[in-house]
């Protein structure tokens, strides 16, 4: 079990306790690194997972491992649903932490990509109801992980999509497949060959997101309404139906595991791609000063 922080009010005073995750709890804060914050509402038994790794919630190995572990914990706790969002307005996640790719060490690249895939599969295949509240830009991996959820709401004035091509990189084929499931093959083909980022309105019209909200608070409220709408649906029937509708994608992704990892390692580890990554990292550094 993870240790967490629970804040409760007693006689008008705020009391902070260090505790292990119990069966039902009001609020839990993530362990040590605080890359992922967790709250579970006693009344609704709904969990909120907030990505919290400044500056852009980059998905490094640590974040991926924490996310997957926490989701497993919430499955064991049998929460009614999970809302995934960002602790910082303006960015859901910048996606893959590019620093993780700045290496030609094949073992390191294989470890990272295996973990990335496993975390996505964990979210995509969880029996829990999942809703993404996209309260900021959601490029590349941010878009990918939101598509793993059962439902997506997004605040206005942000962009979402797979922009890897614009950076000289290639999105994984299973990302393309998943987006094609949502917006159709032709639109997905155009999007990925152009590295297209969609506005909130464009994403809604295409079906990449399900609803538009004005702010995070409205998004969280809408997400809870969506989770509540399943309250009278027999749980086991819903879980099996979800698994059946996603089985074809899962089977293909798992079947292609070796080819996908091999392509990733060869593509990212190539001299050409490493030069692109180095140039991108230099641009990031120049923006900080």
- Among residues 141, 147, 157, which one has the least CA distance to residue 90? 157
Burial tier of 2 (Cβ tally within 10 Å: 0-12, 13-18, 19+): middle
What is the tally of structural domains in the chain? 1
Distances, alpha carbon 173 to alpha carbons 143, 145, 148, 237, 264, in Å = 14, 14, 15, 30, 11
| Residue 282 structural domain | 3-288
**pLDDT per residue as tens digits for the range 138-173:** 999 999 999 999 999 999 999 999 999 998 999 999
**pLDDT per residue as tens digits for the range 1-16:** 444 444 444 444 444 3
- How many other C-beta atoms are found inside a 10 Å radius of the C-beta of residue 112? 23
Structure tokens at 130: 């999942």
Q: How far apart are the C-alpha atoms of 176 and 174, rounded to whole Å? A: 5
Q: Rounded to two decimals, what is the model's pTM?
A: 0.87
- How many other C-beta atoms are found inside a 10 Å radius of the C-beta of residue 53? 22
**pLDDT per residue as tens digits for the range 26-58:** 454 333 347 999 999 989 999 999 999 999 999
Give the pLDDT of residue 288: 56
Structure tokens at 273: 């791609």
**pLDDT per residue as tens digits for the range 209-268:** 999 999 999 999 999 999 999 999 999 999 999 999 999 999 999 999 999 999 999 999
- Three-class SS state of 119: helix
Q: How far apart are the C-alpha atoms of 2 and 168, rounded to whole Å? A: 39
CATH of the domain at 145: 3.90.226.10
Give the pLDDT of residue 280: 87
Q: From edge to edge, which strands make up the β-sheet containing 211-213? A: 27-28, 36-40, 46-51, 81-86, 129-134, 151-155, 211-213
Q: How far apart are the C-alpha atoms of 121 and 253, rounded to whole Å? A: 9
Strands 136-139, 90-91: pairing is parallel
- Among residues 12, 16, 130, 155, which one has the least CA distance to residue 79? 130
Q: How far apart are the C-alpha atoms of 182 and 207, rounded to whole Å? A: 6
Structure tokens at 108: 């390191």
pLDDT at 67 > cutoff 80: yes
Q: How far apart are the C-alpha atoms of 125 and 177, rounded to whole Å? A: 16
Q: How far apart are the C-alpha atoms of 89 and 133, rounded to whole Å? A: 11
**pLDDT per residue as tens digits for the range 176-212:** 999 999 999 999 999 999 999 999 999 999 999 999 9
Distances, alpha carbon 94 to alpha carbons 172, 186, 275, in Å = 16, 25, 20
């Amino acid at each position: 079990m993870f240790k967490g922080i629970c804040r409760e009010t007693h006689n008008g005073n705020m009391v902070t306790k260090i505790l292990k995750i119990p069966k039902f709890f009001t609020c839990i804060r993530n362990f040590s690194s605080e890359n992922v914050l967790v709250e579970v509402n006693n009344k609704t038994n709904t969990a909120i997972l907030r990505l919290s790794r400044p500056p852009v919630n980059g998905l490094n190995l640590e974040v991926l491992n924490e996310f997957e572990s926490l989701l497993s914990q919430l499955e064991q706790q049998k929460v009614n649903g999970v809302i995934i969002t960002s602790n910082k307005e303006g960015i859901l996640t910048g996606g893959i932490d590019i620093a993780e790719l700045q290496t030609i060490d094949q073992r390191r690249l294989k470890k990272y990509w295996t973990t990335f895939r496993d975390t996505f599969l964990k979210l995509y295949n969880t029996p829990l109801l999942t809703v993404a509240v996209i309260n900021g830009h959601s490029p590349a991996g941010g878009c990918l992980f939101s598509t793993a959820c059962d439902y997506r709401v997004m605040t206005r004035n942000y962009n979402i999509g797979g922009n890897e091509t614009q950076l000289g990189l290639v999105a994984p084929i299973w990302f393309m497949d998943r987006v094609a499931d949502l917006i159709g093959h032709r639109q997905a083909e155009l999007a990925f060959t152009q590295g297209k980022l969609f506005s909130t309105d464009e994403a809604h019209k295409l079906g990449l997101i399900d609803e538009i909200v004005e702010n995070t608070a409205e998004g969280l409220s809408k997400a809870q309404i969506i989770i509540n709408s399943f309250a009278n649906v027999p749980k086991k029937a819903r879980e099996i139906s979800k698994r059946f509708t996603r089985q074809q994608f899962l089977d293909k992704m798992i079947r292609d595991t070796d080819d996908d990892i091999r392509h990733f390692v060869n593509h990212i580890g190539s001299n050409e791609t490493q030069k692109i990554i180095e140039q991108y990292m230099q641009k990031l550094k120049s923006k900080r000063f």
